[in-house]
Structure 1
Amino acid sequence: MEDNINNNDELQILEATRQLTELMIGINTQGINKIVDNDFTLTHITGHVQSKGEWFAEIETERMRYYSYKEIKTSVKIEGDKATFVGQNLLDARIWGSRNKWRLQQTMQLEKRNGKWIVLKSVATTF
């Protein structure tokens, strides 16, 4: 039974993290807001930590513009109602004027609340 629960949770986490990327591409901060925590932070490959509000403003003004992604590898580790997702994507994005196909690794911390996985924070590095 435990394996079934974890497998279902793993699928829900993969779905949520993929949805997050699709919403970024779609410039849909209202949608993103439904799957990230109020205190969500995004740490960029530069080490700069952004609050959710600051990140949303960057998306809405297209200072950060996401075009497409190709998933390379994912892993999920679940411990009770907490999880860590690690995803490697080839992300086509323009960040502060620089467009590139970034080899981006996102490490996200999630928490299950009322049966739904919420992204607490995301840390980006390159791979």
Structure 2
Amino acid sequence: MTAAAVRALHEALCEAMVAGDVAALESILTDEFTLTHMTGYVQSKSEWLDAIETRQMQYLRMETVEATIGTEGTTPGLTTRTLTDATIWGSRATWRLTLRSWFEPRGDEWVIARTVASTW
């Protein structure tokens, strides 16, 4: 997986989150995808997508201010710092989030296997 492909997948993730496009998110996440929130709560793909669909989680703007690509063994990873304007379970703020994402192949394409969010 090239660095450009990693960045493109991250951008697709951010765009789909802001658009609330659950179908697009479904297509770029593994079935076993988990999102670990900055609180430590690990959310399954289905629960996260449901929260987006029901607008319990609304992502209004995501700006990536820094991105670093690395690997763990043979698995590509991406660490980004974002400014994420979102309403999460009724609380709106712009969070300074570090998002660490790992990828895995699916056929001829790559998808996001998991993401861990923390603050910076």
Percent identity between matched residues is: 34
Structure exhibiting the larger radius of gyration computed from Cα positions: 1
| SS of match in other structure, 2:34 | strand
Runs of 4+ in 1 over 2 A off after TM superposition: 78-81, 112-115
Cα deviation 1:51-80 (Å, max 9, x = unaligned) = 001001100011100001221100111467
Alignment of 1:1-127 (within 5 A): 9-78=2-71, 81-127=74-120
User: What is the total number of aligned residue pairs between the two structures?
Assistant: 120
**RMSD between superposed Cα atoms in Å:** 1.4
Show structure 1 runs of 5+ residues with no match: 1-5
Show structure 2 runs of 5+ residues with no match: none
User: What's the TM-score once normalised by structure 1's chain length?
Assistant: 0.89
* Distance change (3 Å), C-alpha of 1:79 and 1:47: closer
